[in-house]
Amino acid sequence: MHLPRKLKFTKEGTRFVILCIGIGIAAINTGLNLLFLILAMMLSSIIISGILSEISLRKISVKRFHSSRGHAGDELTIKFTIENLKMFLPSFSLIIKDKSFEDLSAYITKINANQKITFPCKKIFLNRGLFELKEILILTRFPFGLFEKSSKILCQSKIIIYPRIKQINSETISLPKHFLQSPFNNLAIKNSDEIFHGLREYRLGDNPKRIHWKSTARFLKPMIKEFEKHQESNISILLDTFLVENNDQKQKEFLESAISLCASLANFFISKNYNIFFSAYTPQFTKIPFAKGKDQLYRILETLALIKPNSSKNFSFLLDELSESQITGYVIAILLNVNQGKNKISAKINLPGTLLHTINIREHSVFNYFKIHQTA
């Protein structure tokens, strides 16, 4: 949708009009035909400039294409497709700008009738969040640079920028052996709830399909494969978003570091096919039930991208909202305020088969969790 066009003077155009007025006054006062001729030429230049600039802007279509999501700090490609819908006439000297981000722009010297041109632009979003792209501005100073005529096109779209994801140094994650082994990384159990346990001698009533023939030949007696029920490894990630003062820049930086670490951990564990649970105040209470796979990762990343600090409920309140079934397996608590909730979570997670790992985001050792100079 095209909005009404706007016209403004350039610096050169302002000087030209002032000069035109001066020559007009001089022509009237002196009555010299030469001055009237010069004035007529200058006025005709203004009229021609208006007509040609209008022709250049008429029937120009601009569309914006981009991915709906990206990561903070990564380069995102945003493409502009410009099409001249006129039947015969070309357009000259067009500048395309995105009103939301002035650094997104393209310059076209000439676009012929019925021609389509695509310009890729690179944009780096430094911060996470939801960004709305609204208007696209088309402007031209053709032909003489005296005036700048512009037209706006409504082209609304959104980009959600996820937190920065870095590669996790697995040596800093103190998981026990049964957690460190990636679930379902064995082809034999991908479509089964049972995993291989060992071999034993065949007994009457056993399933003959489970006889291990190589071992039978080696021991000269029937040997059968024995299986045990596979237990999935659950990992709960709990994020502290409590800030005493929302305007404190240092506290906000700690929160951003915590969010980035949380996103990196979620990416790390989901890539290894773990069941992941996530909960935080965003600032309202939010929980994402146990699940695995890319869809679960995007659910967590989208929540983290839109998180805002809360100034009313600390980490202890978050624990009160959660049931014991939601804090199982390996629990990672990322704390902004190490003294708030640590004792309470230790007491609440005192369950068989449950492990607690707390991370104080204010400690310099938090950088040990990342592989330096590598990003996911």
Which domain does 358 fall in, by range? 166-176+232-375
Q: Final residue of a domain: which of 184, 210, 229?
A: 229
| 127, 172: one domain | no
Cis, peptide link before residue 163, omega less than 30° from 0: no
Q: Check residues 57 and 204 and name the one with the higher pLDDT.
A: 57
Query: Edge-to-edge, what's the strand order for the sheet holding 116-124?
Result: 60-66, 75-84, 116-124
Q: Are strands 60-66 and 91-98 parallel, antiparallel or unpaired?
A: unpaired
Q: Supply the CATH number for residue 240's domain.
A: 3.40.50.410
In a domain, 181, yes or no: no
pLDDT at residue number 178: 52
Residue 76 carries which side chain, given as an amino acid letter? L
Closest by CA position to 132, among listed 152, 154, 150, 151: 154
**Once rounded to an integer, what is the mean pLDDT over residues 134-156?**
88
In the prediction, which pLDDT does 356 show?
76
Residue 67 maps to which CATH number? 2.60.40.10
Give percent above pLDDT 90 in the chain. Answer: 20
Q: What is the pLDDT of residue 2?
A: 64
Mean confidence (pLDDT) of the chain:
81
220, part of any domain = yes
Kindly report the number of other CB atoms within 10 A of residue 175's CB atom: 16
- Report strand pairing: 147-162 vs 105-111: unpaired
- The reply to whether 172 falls in a domain is yes
Q: What is the pLDDT of residues 333-366, one digit of tens each?
A: 888 876 655 565 666 666 656 777 778 887 756 6
245 and 278 both lie in a single domain: yes
Same domain, 171 and 315: yes
Same domain for 209 and 254? Answer: no
Domain identity same for 134 and 213: no
| Domain count along the chain | 3
Rg (CA), the chain: 33
Strands 105-111 and 6-9: unpaired
pLDDT given for residue 263 in this prediction? 92
- Residue whose token pair is 């005709």: 44
Q: For residue 329, what pLDDT is reported?
A: 76
Range 24-50 average pLDDT: 90
Per-residue model confidence (pLDDT) at position 176: 55
285 and 238 within one domain: yes
> Would you state the pLDDT for residue 106?
86
Is the domain of 247 the same as that of 217? no
Written as six digits, the tokens of 281 are: 């105040």
**Residue 119 class from Cβ within 10 Å (0-12 exposed, 13-18 middle, 19+ buried)?**
middle
Question: Tokens 């700008």 map to which residue?
Answer: 97
**pLDDT digit string, tens, across residues 214-267:** 888 888 888 887 765 445 578 888 988 888 766 677 888 888 888 998 999 999
In angstroms, how far is CA 74 from the centroid of its own chain? 9
Is 267 found in the same domain as 212?
no
Q: Are residues 12 and 116 in the same domain?
A: yes
> Quick one: 92 and 14 in the same domain?
yes
For residue 351, give the 3-state DSSP assignment: coil
* Cα separation, 51 vs 49, whole angstroms: 6
Instruction: Report which of 91, 93, 161, 177 is spatially closest to residue 124, judged by C-alpha positions.
Output: 161
In a domain, 286, yes or no: yes
pLDDT at 124 over 60: yes
Q: Is residue 184 part of a domain?
A: no
The yes-or-no verdict on residue 46 having pLDDT over 80 is yes
In which element (H, E) is residue 108 found?
A: strand 105-111
Q: Please, which residues have CB within 8 angstroms of residue 68's CB and are 6 or more apart in sequence?
A: 158, 159, 160
Q: What is the pLDDT of residues 299-340, one digit of tens each?
A: 999 999 999 888 888 887 887 787 766 677 788 888 887 665
Residue 191 clears pLDDT 70, i.e. is over it: no
Note the pLDDT of residue 102: 77
User: Is the bond leading into 208 cis (omega within 30 degrees of zero)?
Assistant: no
Q: Are 151 and 57 in contact (CB under 8 A)?
A: yes
Give the pLDDT of residue 372.
46
CA angle 121, 147, 136 (to 5 degrees): 30
- Domain boundary among the residues 107, 139, 162 is at 162
Which residue, among 359, 18, 54, 376, has the nearest Cα to 368 in the 3D structure? 359
Asked if residues 243 and 258 have their Cβ atoms less than 8 Å apart, the reply is no
- The answer to whether position 318 is within a domain reads yes
- Residue 322: per-residue pLDDT: 77
Please give the average per-residue pLDDT across 134-153, as a whole number.
Answer: 89
- What pLDDT, on a 0 to 100 scale, did the predictor assign at position 186? 40
User: Is residue 34 included in any domain, yes or no?
Assistant: yes
Q: Report pLDDT for 297.
A: 93
267 plus 280 within the same structural domain: yes
Q: Pairing mode, if any, of strands 69-71 and 147-162?
A: parallel
- In this predicted structure, what is the pLDDT of residue 190? 43
pLDDT on residue 318: 80
Query: Rounded mean pLDDT of 210-217?
Result: 82
Q: Enumerate residues 6+ apart whose C-beta is below 8 A from 171.
A: none
For the chain, give the percent of residues with pLDDT over 70: 80
Both 106 and 143 in one domain: the answer is: yes
Residues 277, 237 contacting (CB under 8 angstroms): yes
Confirm whether 185 is domain-assigned: no
